[in-house]
């Protein structure tokens, strides 16, 4: 029963992080990212699907949910051996995840003929969103996740 409660808390945390990502993140992206991103997309219509249907939005949100869930899961596993405050520990894991995301984006930028600016803008957007969600995770994790033992290790407090 304890594992079920932990899983439900985990899912709740990831749902809240996704809401923060889209609500707060959208407010940040609106003036800082979207004008440049949409400009590149409008200049290169053959590369981008500008006719998103409902299923495209659902798929996009599910991909994002999965990405944040995986990063929080890595944090859950690594947390007992990380040092620093909850926010610092969270940013360490989200920072590593961002570096992986950025490196994959740069690999695609190098291999495909899409406009390079698109990838650069996406990496800048990712930097802001990984920072935002990492910060939110550091603040919310202690409130939503159970205290005590994790994967056989005593959690650092």
Looking at residue 66, its pLDDT comes to 98
Is residue 59 a contact partner of residue 66, using CB atoms and an 8 Å limit? no
Beta bridge partners of 109: none
Looking at residue 154, its pLDDT comes to 47
What letters, b where the CB count within 10 A reaches 16 and e where it falls short, cover 31-53?
Answer: eebeeebeebbeeeeeebeeeee
Looking at residue 119, its pLDDT comes to 92
Domain range annotation of the chain: 2-154
Looking at residue 148, its pLDDT comes to 60
List the chain pLDDT tens, one digit each, 157 residues. Answer: 889 999 999 999 999 999 999 999 999 999 999 999 999 989 988 888 778 899 999 999 999 999 999 999 999 999 999 999 999 999 999 999 999 999 999 998 888 877 889 999 999 999 999 999 999 999 999 999 977 645 544 444 4
pTM for the structure as a whole: 0.89
* SS3 of residue 10 by DSSP: helix
Looking at residue 109, its pLDDT comes to 87
């Amino acid at each position: 029963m304890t594992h079920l409660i932990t899983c439900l808390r985990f899912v709740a945390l990831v749902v809240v992080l996704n809401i923060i990502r889209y609500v707060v993140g959208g407010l940040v992206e609106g003036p800082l990212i979207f004008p440049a991103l949409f400009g590149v997309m409008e200049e290169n219509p053959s590369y981008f699907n500008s006719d998103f249907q409902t299923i495209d939005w659902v798929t996009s949100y599910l991909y994002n949910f999965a990405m944040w869930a995986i990063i929080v899961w890595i944090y859950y596993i690594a947390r007992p051996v990380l040092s620093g405050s909850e926010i610092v520990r969270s940013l360490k894991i989200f920072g590593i995840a961002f570096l992986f995301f950025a490196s994959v984006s740069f690999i695609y930028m190098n291999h495909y003929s899409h406009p390079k600016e698109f990838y650069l803008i996406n990496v800048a957007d990712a930097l802001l969103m990984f920072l935002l969600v990492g910060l939110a995770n550091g603040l919310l994790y202690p409130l939503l996740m159970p205290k005590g033992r994790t994967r056989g290790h005593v959690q650092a407090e």
